[in-house]
Structure 1
């Protein structure tokens, strides 16, 4: 409950905007547009918009379930399923956050190996980044919140670069509008979930928010801004690439950055990639922190010990991935699991929560 989190660990409500924005500014935005394009073509931006609208409903459900009084997903599971079964479901969520973090981590490593350091080994990059993750996560949730603020500022500074593909784009590539069926748009919308993945950590850090009942607006604002950002990014990809080229382009957003030229800066894509590190590491750290938080709540394992354990397992798993096809398979698996978790499990949990509250209210009136 809210009173289980000490006052000095709480964050102001408006920081929810930065946390939502930062966790969704992960690696999915670099590679997802060409996947969506296979299903909905020039209407891919509509699919992104549909996904963004759907997430508002999920955020509303989360605030309804976790508020009054404030609690996290562990409390909610225990409330609905009982202590034993509730803790079992909470432990399963560690796997979800772990896989989400793994997908983001491996995708960024692949980008660095393809675009910047083709001869560097996976374990070398993994060891370097894991040291950084340990340093940030061990600082606690308030440190991660501050880093999320820094990540959001970085994203806003990079966003104007979208001007260049729009400037040189071909408007005909967006025509005709709404030329695909609703099932095709929904299929592409499902593929776009890789862009939005990460906001589910709200289920874990919810009790850390001050006066949480009044802060839903900041979470919705984070979803709105991210949705608009990803819609614009998708449109810029569609304007710049022909249909055939976009389907076969790996990381199309990075390909666009190669056309950007300044008299005083060369190879903008290198700067872009390493700036994206700030955004991806924020999403990754909050997912890893969520794993340690659940372990602490369910097993009473100290966060520092659980962090070392999780990162050790994380490193061992990461070095097993040596091919792009394996990373793509992991990405598809993560997106599918995320879709079922957010749009099936969350509504089901919400219905069970409403039934439990109705029964409780009926018993109290008898």
Structure 2
């Protein structure tokens, strides 16, 4: 039997403007490190247009989410129960745990691969996984407000990191971006679909929505957070395109990190190490919010205690992560997550919105009859 949704206590709520930091931090953009050359394969020097298309189109999805879940404030579990009934609705909600799980797995595995390629090639995947999962357990156990504070610092760090695009732009060539718009609409949309890996993670909004004070009045902060990410991701792609030639970019593993090798300071020789470890601060909120979403759904539809479900989720996470121990499996995971994420956001959420509108119109007719 499902638990009845209770209003979130006042001391657990967050101010509406903090949605800006939550949504911005949940979209790490870390997928750009792995996906830049794949986006370029389809759209070439117009890859930045594909990223811009994806970012702007997500504003419509954000609008749908606030429209469905606001007034009165509820989460996706309530929405599922309202549209599909309690039993089927809870079953669909439990399926969403798998989505949040693989979203976290995607970002987590990319970061470990970067550490192994660039800094610690002799350390195995399971050793990194144990250390990072202990950190995630500690942070998620602190609750949603702790994750919100973490998101605040992550956004500040990301802004500083993205300022580094000055260097590839300074040494790049504007001619690499020309001719502009020389690819078909089909190619741009195909590359845009691949670029969803940059934006993955914001879907946690569907679960933490009831924790926002006067959520229906603060949609602007979510849109602003998404807009900042879109501009950052687009600028990052532009700087990379300017720095690399077309042939070199396609065959470069993690081009965004390769670019950092040109950054030099008198007191620091290997700046890419600082860059990589800075990304840990940026990706941690996204990982924790995805895991927290899994725990929240389990708590809402079962009687399992959060600390037990958190331990079970992280144990399963560890078992799954160590299976992706070669480049082929890792690439398959990246493609799968980008694919399923795209259809979840641009097919399932609009479907929920249409069903919500139909139900609302029927309810309005009954009230006026």
Output one character per residue of 1:58-93: Cα deviation in whole Å (capped at 9) or x when no partner. 000000000010000000000000000100110000
User: Which residue in 1 is equivalent to 2:138?
Assistant: 135
Q: Name the structure 2 match of 1:193.
A: 196
Residue 29 (structure 1) shift: 2.2
Instruction: Report matched runs for 1:66-77 at 5 Å.
Output: 66-77=69-80
Question: Aligned match of 1:300 in 297, 300, 303?
Answer: 303
Indicate the residue corresponding to 1:118 in structure 2. Answer: 121
Question: Aligned runs of 1:91-102 on 2, under 5 Å?
Answer: 91-102=94-105
Structure 1, unpaired ranges of 5+ = none
Secondary structure at the aligned position of 2:16 is classed as: coil
Matches within 5 A, 1:1-366: 4-366=7-369
Distance 2:66 2:186 in 1: 30
CA shift for structure 1 position 49: 0.5
SS in 2 for 1:4: coil
- Tell me, yes or no, if the aligned pair for 1:2 and 1:207 is still in contact at 8 Å: no
Q: Distance in 1 between matches of 2:64 and 2:41?
A: 31
User: Partners of 2:198 and 2:361 in 1: how far apart?
Assistant: 36
Q: TM-score, normalised by structure 1?
A: 0.99
1:2 Cα offset (Å): 8.7
Alpha-carbon distance, 1:228 to partner: 0.3
**Does the CA contact (< 8 Å) of 1:26 and 1:283 recur in 2?**
no
Give per-residue Cα distances to partners, 1:83-131, cap 9 Å, x unaligned: 0010011000000000010111111000000000000010000000000
Aligned residues of 2:29 and 2:233 also touching (Cα < 8 A): no
| SS of match in other structure, 1:160 | helix
What is the CA distance between 1:26 and its match in structure 2?
Answer: 4.5
Q: Which runs of 4+ in 1 moved over 2 A?
A: none
In structure 1, how many angstroms separate the alpha carbons of the residues matched to 2:188 and 2:92? Answer: 32
| Displacement of 1:363 | 1.1
Rounded to whole Å, the distance in 2 between the matches of 1:320 and 1:39 is 29
1:188-212 CA deviation, whole Å, 9 max, x = no partner?
0000000000000000000000011
Contact 1:2 1:208 in 2 (8 A): no
In 2, the alpha carbon distance for the partners of 1:217 and 1:90 equals 27
The Cα offsets for residues 111-159 of structure 1, whole Å up to 9 and x where unpaired, read as 0000000000100000000000000000000000000001001111112
Mapped partners of 2:328, 2:224: distance in 1 = 36
CA change 1:2–1:60 in 2 (3 A) is: farther
Deviations 1:260-306 (A, max 9, x none): 00111110100000000111111101000000000000112111111
Distance in 2 of aligned mates of 1:27 and 1:225: 15
What runs of 5+ residues in structure 2 fail to find an aligned partner?
A: none
What is the SS of the residue equivalent to 1:96? helix
Distance in 2 between residues matched to 1:180 and 1:300, nearest whole Å = 53
**Residues in 1 aligned to 2:337 and 2:196: alpha-carbon distance in whole angstroms:** 9
Is the Cα–Cα contact under 8 Å of residues 20 and 222 in structure 1 kept in the other structure? yes
TM-score (norm: length of structure 2): 0.98
* Alpha-carbon contact 2:83-2:355 (below 8 Å) kept: yes
Q: Distance in 1 between matches of 2:6 and 2:129?
A: 38
Instruction: Report the alpha carbon displacement of residue 324 of structure 1 after superposing the two structures with TM.
Output: 1.5
Q: Is the 8 A contact 2:193 2:342 kept in 1?
A: yes
